[in-house]
Amino acid sequence: MTEEEKAIQFQQRIDAGEKIEPRDWMPDDYKQTLFRQISQHAHSEIIGMQPEGNWLLRAPSLRAKKILMAKIQDEAGHGLYLYSAAETFGIDRTEMIAMLHSGKAKYSSIFNYPALTWADMGAIGWLVDGAAIVNQTMLAKCSYGPYARAMVRICKEEGFHQRQGYEIIANMSAGTREQKEMAQDALNRWWEPSLMMFGPHDADSPHTHNSMKWKIKVESNDTLRQRFIDRTVEQAHHIGLTIPDKNLKYNKETMHWETSPINWDEFWNVVKGNGPCNHQRLNHHKKYHQEGQWVRDCARAFEEKLKSESAAIKSN
């Protein structure tokens, strides 16, 4: 088959809803788009452990600490599934981490904001994991098999993450005046950055057209953002919190909540590396990656030892 015929057949498989697997033929652009997105997603899960890790030793009860610990460990697991899915393109994790450290690979803008109080643990679970679920439930239908399968598993855990965050915020909202103020303050600070997680508007998103044609994304950035807004506004009202947007209004005709324009200058500034915590997050990752070198060396030496022992057994 010519390259052109292969491309036509590939698109027919996508249109028919078939999954593409690592050994199947696929266009280079499809590969590159997926590799960029999956590796960025993996880095986000790992860098995303930092804002919550910061609060582990200050959790207000043993129960809260155990839940937070389990959640952070889940995020590490998500990173591992996603690095494995990205490795199906023949680039190993060492290279992906080098790309993160050099600034060639991004991670989600949301993790460049500081977690200032315990209420932020609630806001991260409720809003950040809440946004992640909306996005990832869609990605579970993605055309690339390894990514779609990783997403199914991840979404199950994200459901628990969102609920534990909402529980923290709901309890604080129903608590003392100071606790309610902390919950409101966390919502004020995390609301707009959470809306930015979905990426630029569809009209300004360079990748959406091809990603939707290839069913990497089956819904657009704006559609998903609106779904998140509609869900979250109701959840905030239910526990007596106010969405920090003076232009928020319900449109009875469209049956959607309308919000103020998003500050895209801030978004691009954060994406370009100038957010409040970009340097801190990346330096932290570099430091502990370097300090963990001996663990990787031991694991590699052990693997070599096993290989040579099994070769010796086979030759006897």
Residues that bind ligand FAQ (CB under 6 A): 36-37, 40-41, 44-45, 48, 75, 106, 108-109, 124, 128-129, 132, 135, 196-200, 205-208, 211, 221, 271
* Cβ proximity to ligand FAQ, 129 vs 170, nearer residue: 129
Q: How far is the CB of 11 from ligand FAQ (least distance, A)?
A: 18
As to burial, measured by CB atoms within 10 angstroms (0-12 exposed, 13-18 middle, 19+ buried), residue 222 is middle
Tell me how far, at minimum, the Cβ of 248 lies from ligand FAQ, in Å: 22
Distance CA 127, CA 53 (A): 17
Nearest to 220 by CA among 198, 237, 241: 198
In 48-176, which residue ranges form alpha helices assigned H by DSSP?
A: 49-53, 62-87, 93-102, 119-123, 130-139, 145-173
- Complete DSSP assignment for 193-238: HHHHTT-S-GGG-TTHHHHHHTTSSSS-HHHHHHHHHHHHHHHHHH
Looking at beta carbons only, is 134 or 180 nearer to ligand FAQ? 134
Q: How far is the CB of 108 from ligand FAQ (least distance, A)?
A: 4
Pick the closer one to ligand FAQ by CB: 54 or 188: 54
**Which is closer to ligand FAQ, CB of 78 or CB of 180?**
78
Cα separation, 30 vs 18, whole angstroms = 15
Residue 82 near residue 136, CB atoms below 8 Å: no
87/102 Cα distance (integer angstroms): 19
Q: How far is the CB of 303 from ligand FAQ (least distance, A)?
A: 29
Q: Determine the straight-line distance between the first and last CA of the chain, rounded to whole angstroms.
A: 48
- For the CB of residue 39, give the shortest distance to ligand FAQ in the complex, in Å: 9
Q: Which is nearer to ligand FAQ, 180 or 228 (CB)?
A: 228
Which residues make Cβ contacts (< 8 Å) with residue 263, sequence separation at least 6?
Answer: 192
Residue whose pair of structure tokens reads 């249109």 in the numeric block: 15
Q: Which is nearer to ligand FAQ, 180 or 191 (CB)?
A: 191
In the bound state with ligand FAQ, the residue whose beta carbon lies nearer, of 36 and 93, is 36
CB of 315 to ligand FAQ, least distance (A): 47
Pick between residue 180 and residue 229 the one whose CB is nearest to ligand FAQ. Answer: 229
Shortest reach from residue 240's CB to ligand FAQ, in Å: 24
Residue nearest to ligand FAQ (CB): 48
For the CB of residue 265, give the shortest distance to ligand FAQ in the complex, in Å. Answer: 14
Sequential DSSP letters for 19-68: PB-TTS---HHHHHHHHHHHHHHHHHHHHTHHHHHTTGGG-SSHHHHHHH
Q: Which two tokens stand for residue 167?
A: 């529980």
Give the other-Cβ count within 10 Å of 106's Cβ: 16
